[in-house]
Structure 1
Amino acid sequence: MTGAPLELRLLGAPARLAEPRWLWLLLVVAALAALAAFSLRRRRALLARTAGGLAARVAPGAGAARPALRAGLAVAALALLAVALSRPQRGQRVEGAKRYGVDVVFALDASRSMRARDVAPDRFGLARLEVEALLDRLAGNRFGIVTFARSAFVQCPLTTDTAAARLFLRAASPEAMPDQGTSLEAALSAAGEVLAAGERGPRGRVVVLLSDGEDHEPGAAAAARALADAGARVFAVGIGGTSGEPIPLRGKGGALDGYQRDGRGELVLSRLGEAALREVAESGGGAYLRASDAGVGLPAVAAAVERLEKAELESRVAVSWEEQGGWFAGAAFLCLLGALLVPDVRPRREEGP
């Protein structure tokens, strides 16, 4: 693991070591330096014991300066390499960073009918998968999430953090909705409130409504027109089939407890209400799309979002540092080269006749 950078000042200028954990190698270098010094001293002592006063004649080139210089250069090279590995940096440079994008609010139907299994894994599961795919494809924009049944709730306000948006999305479920039913008008109104809470500016705004279209309340078309008047485009994505599918009822543990029935005890079949969704899309200046098991439809939404005018979403200051490790590595190379070129003994001079 990389430790925290070590901040310091060098000649009054800010500097730091980005990976100071490598400085522990200096302890190894110090141990090698001590070992080299002990070896040189032992070598001189052995020569003195062996030759005594004749040491200068027996080994005239065996001085202490050259071996000490070679060892010193090698130890210095290792120390410089340890410093280079710690990534010394200086010259703090400040740069501006801006992000541009559009505001996208997903209105996700979480009514009980979205548990129908005429698409895989079920209507709600497919809608959630489609939204996650769009979060990945449109990363860099701002996203908000609204879940609704008879009432609508802001699951996630506008944010550029796709990981946070995905976390809020996975926490949503039809079982968590307090009152059942379906109100497209409540969903669109809540989406408009999320957009209004964001900073105003010349940026594109999109509401993506994902539902089976079984609207039990009036006013959806009027809410879509209000969004269009405020500068937002409304796309409606139909989830489910038109042939009719029973609505499963599940207990607290997720086990199937049967299927929903009406007051006469007859099985309730849920069908995709395309007419209501088309009306919402036309009133909102967008388009109606239908999702299937293959996930078709939402790529068209992504393409439409990418064509919208983008505005500045975020402005921040980025701090960068200039790497200086190359200088230390170069100095280490020169020290190693010098250690190789310095002879271990003094060259003998050839005596004349």
Structure 2
Amino acid sequence: MTFANIEYFFLLLLLIPYILWYVLKNKKKEPTLLVSDTTAYRYAPKSYKNHLIHAPFILRLFTFVMVIIILARPQTSNSWKNTQVEGIDIMLAVDVSTSMLAEDLKPNRLEAAKQVASEFIAGRPNDNIGLTIFAAEAFTQCPMTTDHAVLLNLFHGIKTDMAQRGMIQDGTAVGMGIANAVSRLKDSKAKSKVIILLTDGTNNAGDISPLTAAEIAKSFGIRVYTIGVGTNGLAPYPMPVAGGVQYLNVPVEIDTKTLAAIAGKTDGEFYRATDNKKLEDVYKDIDKLEKTKLNVKQYSKRYEAYALFAWLAAVALLLEILLRMTILKKIP
């Protein structure tokens, strides 16, 4: 709520001398009934009128405050803004194959990637960001949006065992992941278009090769930043067995050559993230991309909102008059 004539609130200062006058006036009042001894009245119960004696004064103060608020013209507004974004459109392409269950990053590769990417998204509130997930096939989990609350909700909904439970065919189709992200970016009018691809393996599925997908991305002016996530050597992998989980040390096989070639072909960068800290550093480095510029058109229509205060003032005034003319009526 806003006020069109906020200077009228200075009139509230008049309440100070008015309250002082009322206090001093009541101190000087003489009793209306003189008696020689008040002992007989010492333990007499007080009437409810004693508690209402100052009610008319309080109601008058309340009425005065409401009138001042009305004079200040309270207003509400019904507004919206059309935001034209010129800058970066980003698609996150995240590998969700079963190998992302490996726990060389904590708690595992996918959960670590989700946590760091969420912080990245939160740090770029004005960018259009979408999410592609892929294993042996790829699909869009969330199209590009500036509503990052929805994006993060869908992002956190990705489970580490999607491929394991058959929700998506297992494998690593890097080319399909890039192609799906490109399909979301190709018609974008943004100044910069970026794909951030995160995987922990070698392309072994899909109908499009990674380098072919990179050529398609390049033709649309899309830069691809590739991240190979996973330690060097062996990584602990949880293998379900009867009655629990058994950990096996499996070799880490990341096709760094292909990932570097994808990044080089599209003027992006290739990164290796061997632990949680290095993964954070990767996203911080990518975050140095050109920031979004916004042109905002805002329309606002204001509505007068004095009616409630007018009703309150009228009710308070009527109550004061009613009290003075009935239960608190003075006899001359």
Would you call these one fold, judging by a TM-score over 0.5? Answer: yes
CA distance in 1, matches of 2:93, 2:189: 22
Distance 1:154 1:191 in 2: 8
Amino acid at match of 2:276: D
User: What corresponds to 2:281 in structure 1?
Assistant: 296
One-letter amino acid of the structure 2 residue matched with residue 77 of structure 1: L
Query: C-alpha displacement at 1:194, in angstroms?
Result: 1.9
Which residue is 1:204 aligned to? 192
Sort the Cα spacing of 1:321 and 1:243 in 2 relative to 1 into closer, same or farther, 3 A.
farther
**Is 2:89–2:190's contact at 8 Å kept on the other side of the alignment?**
no
Residue 76 in 1 paired to residue 60 in 2? Answer: yes
Who is 1:59 aligned against?
Answer: none
**Partner AA of 2:269 in structure 1:** A
Q: Deviations over 1:200-255 (max 9, x none)?
A: 324321100011142214610120121121021110112111212243234899x5
For 1:212 and 1:83, the matched residues in 2 are separated by 69
Alignment of 1:9-20 (within 5 A): none
**Match of residue 223, structure 1, among 213, 217, 238:** 213
Equivalent residues of 2:79, 2:298 under 8 A apart:
no
Q: Deviations over 1:79-104 (max 9, x none)?
A: 34357789962385867553534211
Is the contact between residue 191 and residue 207 of structure 1 (CA under 8 Å) also seen in structure 2? yes
- Equivalent residues in 2 for 1:67-146, closer than 5 Å: 75-81=59-65, 89-90=74-75, 92=77, 96-100=81-85, 101-146=87-132
The C-alpha deviation readout for 1:111-163, integer Å capped at 9, x for no partner, is 11111122222211221112101111111111110111010121111111111
CA distance in 2, matches of 1:251, 1:168: 30
What letter corresponds to residue 141 of structure 2 in structure 1?
Q
What's the counterpart of residue 256 of structure 1? 245
3-state DSSP class of the match of 1:242?
coil
Gaps of 5+ in 2: 4-28, 35-53, 314-332
Match among 231, 240, 245 for residue 241 of structure 1: 231
1:190 maps to 2:180: yes
Q: What is the CA–CA distance in structure 2 between the aligned matches of 1:226 and 1:220, rounded to whole Å?
A: 10
Q: Does residue 163 of the first structure (1) align with residue 153 of the second (2)?
A: no
CA drift at 1:256: 2.2
CA contact (8 A) 1:290 1:296 kept: no
Q: Name the amino acid aligned to 1:81.
A: V
% identical equivalent positions: 21
Q: How far apart, in 1, do the equivalents of 2:188 and 2:90 lie?
A: 14
Q: 1:269 and 1:95, CA in 2 relative to 1: closer, same or farther beyond 3 A?
A: closer
SS at match of 1:221: helix
CA gap of 1:320–1:299, structure 2 versus 1, over 3 A, is farther
Q: CA RMSD in A?
A: 4.1
Answer whether contact 2:88 2:128 (CA < 8 A) is retained. Answer: yes
Tell me, in whole angstroms, the C-alpha distance in 1 between the residues paired with 2:177 and 2:283. 19
Structure 1: gaps of 5 or more residues: 6-14, 16-42, 51-69, 260-266, 332-353
